[in-house]
């Protein structure tokens, strides 16, 4: 079973081009599935797995206390694996075919107000250090571009083009896109590169834009610690996630009159349906402003 899972993960990497984070989620989910099947009395191989066993597995996940979202992801991982096994000829029938995933309510992404963004972006400037210069540059760049945190920490120096006021980033599946930069973001990044960027630790770290104090490329986890610290300083603790500035970027653009299709391109969404969730936030904002402003509201 483990060999087949490895083959599936290789397929998802090479043929589908999934991101490192997505691959890690698949590996974790499928390791848990295989462990469950190996401990099941009637499952000595894939051919013994039927829809009743998969239903037991779904109930098992529920018993472990996973949220609907997590259970839905784990079921989706199982469906992807069994679909692969059928296509590869290891199974005649997909045992997950009639198993429904847990219903997941669509939650709207949280966005900060423009005032809250200003407070957050001002937090690093309270002190004048090399690290605060880096942090200022990261926060300004995130809000200026709406890129994902993984895309931010993956940036190399060659991805920055101040002459054309743009930055190149590689999204999910290695898809490349160019994002415009405004003057404030360029100034913040330039200040960091000129005064705050430490000496790279080794050859592998040399291309990275954002380095930690040891001179290695900053990680997503490292950025999250930085962000939580400034959220606390700005009085925004509990309102911030790694994607908050991305959500705020999209919401504020749409409120400012940007076309949905353009926002989709900037965010790197494959489908415009994904981007449309932000229109609900702008609709809520319009309703709030209406209730405040209309004399009969």
Tell me how far apart the terminal alpha carbons of the chain are, to the nearest angstrom: 63
Q: What share of the chain is helix, strand, coil (3-state, %, to 5)?
A: 60, 5, 35
Long-range CB contacts for residues 199-202, cutoff 8 Å, separation at least 24: none
CB 211 within 8 A of CB 198: yes
Q: Looking at 172, 206, 220, 255, which residue is catalytic?
A: 172
Examine the residue annotation and report whether 247 is marked as an active-site residue of this protein: no
Using only C-alpha atoms, what is the Rg of the chain? 23
Examine the residue annotation and report whether 246 is marked as an active-site residue of this protein: yes
CB 231 within 8 A of CB 237: yes
- Edge-to-edge strands, sheet with 176-180: 160-161, 166-170, 176-180
Q: Looking at 177, 243, 255, 285, which residue is catalytic?
A: 243
Examine the residue annotation and report whether 243 is marked as an active-site residue of this protein: yes
CB 215 within 8 A of CB 197: no
Q: Looking at 40, 206, 269, 285, which residue is catalytic?
A: 269
Q: Looking at 148, 197, 217, 252, which residue is catalytic?
A: 148
Q: Looking at 26, 192, 230, 278, which residue is catalytic?
A: 278
Helices then strands, each counted (H, E), the chain? 13, 3
Examine the residue annotation and report whether 106 is marked as an active-site residue of this protein: no
Q: Looking at 217, 246, 247, 252, which residue is catalytic?
A: 246
User: Rounded to an integer, what distance in angstroms lies between the CA atom of residue 293 and that of residue 297?
Assistant: 8
CB 259 within 8 A of CB 232: no
Cβ neighbors of 3 (< 8 A, separation 6 or more) are none
Nearest to 247 by CA among 269, 225, 232: 269
Nearest to 35 by CA among 13, 61, 68: 61
Examine the residue annotation and report whether 73 is marked as an active-site residue of this protein: no
CB 155 within 8 A of CB 90: no
Long-range CB contacts for residues 62-69, cutoff 8 Å, separation at least 24: 62/102, 68/102, 68/103, 68/104, 68/105, 69/104
Residues recognised as catalytic? 148, 172, 243, 246, 269, 278
């Amino acid at each position: 079973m483990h060999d087949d899972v490895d083959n599936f993960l290789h397929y998802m990497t090479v043929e589908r081009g999934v991101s490192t984070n997505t691959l890690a989620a698949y590996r974790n989910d499928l390791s848990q599935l295989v462990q469950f099947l190996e401990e099941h009395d009637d499952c000595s191989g894939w051919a013994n797995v039927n829809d009743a066993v998969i239903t037991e597995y779904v109930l098992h996940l529920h018993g472990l206390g996973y949220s609907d979202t997590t259970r839905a992801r784990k079921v989706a991982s199982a469906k992807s694996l069994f679909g692969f096994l059928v296509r590869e000829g290891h199974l005649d029938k997909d045992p997950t075919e009639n198993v429904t995933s847990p219903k997941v309510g669509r939650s709207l992404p949280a966005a900060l107000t423009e005032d809250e963004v200003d407070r957050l972006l001002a937090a690093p400037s309270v002190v004048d250090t090399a690290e605060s210069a880096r942090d200022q540059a990261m926060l300004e760049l995130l809000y200026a571009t709406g890129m994902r945190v993984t895309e931010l920490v993956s940036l190399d120096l060659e991805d920055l083009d101040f002459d054309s006021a743009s930055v190149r980033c590689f999204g999910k599946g290695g898809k490349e896109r160019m994002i415009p930069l405004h003057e404030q973001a360029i100034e913040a990044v330039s200040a960091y590169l000129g005064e705050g960027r430490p000496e790279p630790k080794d050859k592998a770290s040399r291309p990275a834009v954002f380095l930690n104090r040891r001179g290695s490329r900053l990680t997503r986890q490292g950025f999250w610690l930085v962000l939580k610290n400034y959220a606390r300083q700005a009085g925004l603790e509990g309102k911030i996630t790694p994607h908050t500035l991305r959500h705020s970027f999209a919401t504020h653009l749409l409120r400012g009159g940007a076309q949905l299709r353009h926002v989709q391109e900037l965010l790197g969404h494959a489908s415009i349906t994904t981007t449309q969730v932000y229109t609900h936030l702008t609709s809520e904002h319009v309703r709030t402003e209406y209730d405040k402003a209309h004399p009969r509201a």
